[in-house]
């Protein structure tokens, strides 16, 4: 019987002098999947082929920078504390991307890209929501390859085998005072979050198909559902973190983002009810539906189209 989930003993491979890092490959795979799914969903909202890639050129770099900034700001000791090296703040290949900063600054990049390429930001956000959280699910496997972000010790059959790890080299090393590289069996919090993200992605797609939501509400729902699970999973983790009033900083961030997302969901709905937005509609007809008949006027029998 399987008594634990094995972990990789190596997370970096070399092609000549070039390092191939599993963490980076997982992030890249998530980005590719997110772009593909978002484009398909944006097409259904009247988008044009290639628009998501054009927006992603802005959103992805902004998101990576934002994710790294949040990680460094929320965990400064490793870079600016005793024994820390400030230059390591740029060593993104060692891991360390905060989803909160990635989404925040990535949204700024998406806003710039949407303005430049004629895409409604809320249409783009709603199309991207399930894709983004699925990309998070894929990206979490980078933590698996890095033997990081696990919980407390466990004897459960789904416990995760963790190695003593050389982060800079990306390989398992012999644990001090032993002849083994196995540190122990721990809660696989990376796996819990990955599975939760998949469930959130499925839920968003089903809700989007079943109900008529206002522009922006799908993305707001993503913020609510993801943080609901992330807050609980965060409390299982045992990696080093800063605490505020007895709770990990990311738990507080989850609660704040949940509250902000809930307010946004309500506000988008109020705007829709007030006639300020048309629910899930782009400026043109939705793909697959006939264009509405043009309005007629009493002054002329000739129909006119309005922009």
**What is the DSSP code string of 184-245?**
EEE--HHHHHHHHHHHHHHHHHHHHHHS---TTHHHHHHHHHHHHHHHHHHTTB-S---EET
The answer to whether 113 touches 56, Cβ cutoff 8 Å, is yes
What's the pLDDT tens digit per position in 95-148?
A: 788 899 999 999 999 999 999 999 999 999 999 999 999 999 999 999 999 999
Is the model's pLDDT at 294 over the cut of 70?
Answer: no
What is the rounded CA–CA span in Å between residue 292 and residue 282? 13
**What's 238-278 look like in SS3?**
CCCCCEECCEEHHHHHHHHHHHHHHHHHHHHHHHHHCCCCC
Q: What is the number of other CB atoms lying within 10 angstroms of the CB of residue 33?
A: 15
- Where b means 16+ CB within 10 Å and e means fewer, 45-63 reads bbbeeebbebbbebbbebb
pLDDT at position 304, please? 35
Q: Which residue has the tokens 């969901």?
A: 265
Is the model's pLDDT at 195 over the cut of 50?
Answer: yes
| C-alpha angle 35-39-42 in degrees, rounded to nearest 5 | 135
pLDDT at position 82, please? 80
Q: What is the dihedral of CA 32, 37, 43, 49, to 10 degrees?
A: 20
The answer to whether 34 touches 187, Cβ cutoff 8 Å, is no
For the record, the structure tokens of 197 come out as: 């993200």
Work out the end-to-end distance of the chain between its first and last CA atoms, rounded to an integer number of angstroms: 66
The answer to whether 282 touches 123, Cβ cutoff 8 Å, is yes
Instruction: Return the sign of the alpha-carbon dihedral for residues 181, 184, 185, 190.
Output: negative
pLDDT at position 2, please? 65
Q: Mean pLDDT throughout 232-251?
A: 92
Q: Name which of 38-47, 157-166, 235-244, 273-282 the model is least confident about.
A: 273-282
Q: CA distances (Å), 14 to each of 51, 94, 96, 170, in order?
A: 35, 15, 21, 11
User: Maximum CA pair distance of the chain?
Assistant: 92
Is the model's pLDDT at 296 over the cut of 50?
Answer: no
Is the model's pLDDT at 206 over the cut of 90?
Answer: yes
Q: Mean pLDDT throughout 32-46?
A: 96
- Where b means 16+ CB within 10 Å and e means fewer, 219-250 reads bbbbbbbbbebbbebbebbeeeeeeeeeebbb
* Mean of all residue pLDDT scores within the chain: 88
Tell which wins on pLDDT, 299 or 152.
Answer: 152
What's the pLDDT tens digit per position in 165-190?
A: 998 888 999 999 999 999 999 999 99
What is the rounded CA–CA span in Å between residue 252 and residue 237? 14
pLDDT at position 303, please? 33
Give residues with Cβ within 8 angstroms of 274, minimum separation 6: none
Q: Mean pLDDT throughout 80-93?
A: 80
What is the rounded CA–CA span in Å between residue 101 and residue 105? 6
Q: DSSP letter for 302, please.
A: S
């Amino acid at each position: 019987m399987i008594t634990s989930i094995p972990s990789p003993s190596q997370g970096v491979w070399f092609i000549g002098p070039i390092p191939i890092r599993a963490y980076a490959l997982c992030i890249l795979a998530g980005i590719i999947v997110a772009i593909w799914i978002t484009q398909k969903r944006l097409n259904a909202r009247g988008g044009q082929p290639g628009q998501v890639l054009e927006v992603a050129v802005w959103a992805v770099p902004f998101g990576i920078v934002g994710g790294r900034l949040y990680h460094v700001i929320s965990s400064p000791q490793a870079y600016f504390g005793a024994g820390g090296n400030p230059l390591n703040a740029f060593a993104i290949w060692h891991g360390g991307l905060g989803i909160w900063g990635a989404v925040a600054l990535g949204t700024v990049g998406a806003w710039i890209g949407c303005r430049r390429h004629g895409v409604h930001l809320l249409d783009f956000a709603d199309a991207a929501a399930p894709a983004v959280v699925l990309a998070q699910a894929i990206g979490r496997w980078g933590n698996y390859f890095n033997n990081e972000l696990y919980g407390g010790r466990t004897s459960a059959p789904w416990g995760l085998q963790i190695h003593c790890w050389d982060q800079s080299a990306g390989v398992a090393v012999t644990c001090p005072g032993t002849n083994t590289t196995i540190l122990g069996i721990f809660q696989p919090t990376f796996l819990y979050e990955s599975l939760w993200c998949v469930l959130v992605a499925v839920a968003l797609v089903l809700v989007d198909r079943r109900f008529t939501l206002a522009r922006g509400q799908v993305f707001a729902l993503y913020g609510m559902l993801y943080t609901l699970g992330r807050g609980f999973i965060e409390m299982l983790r045992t990696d080093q973190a800063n605490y505020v009033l007895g709770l990990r900083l990311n738990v507080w961030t989850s609660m704040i983002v949940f509250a902000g997302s809930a307010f946004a969901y309500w506000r988008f709905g109020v705007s829709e009810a007030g006639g300020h937005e048309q629910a899930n509609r782009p400026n043109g007809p939705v793909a697959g539906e006939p264009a509405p008949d043009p309005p007629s006027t009493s002054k002329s029998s000739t129909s006119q189209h309005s922009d």
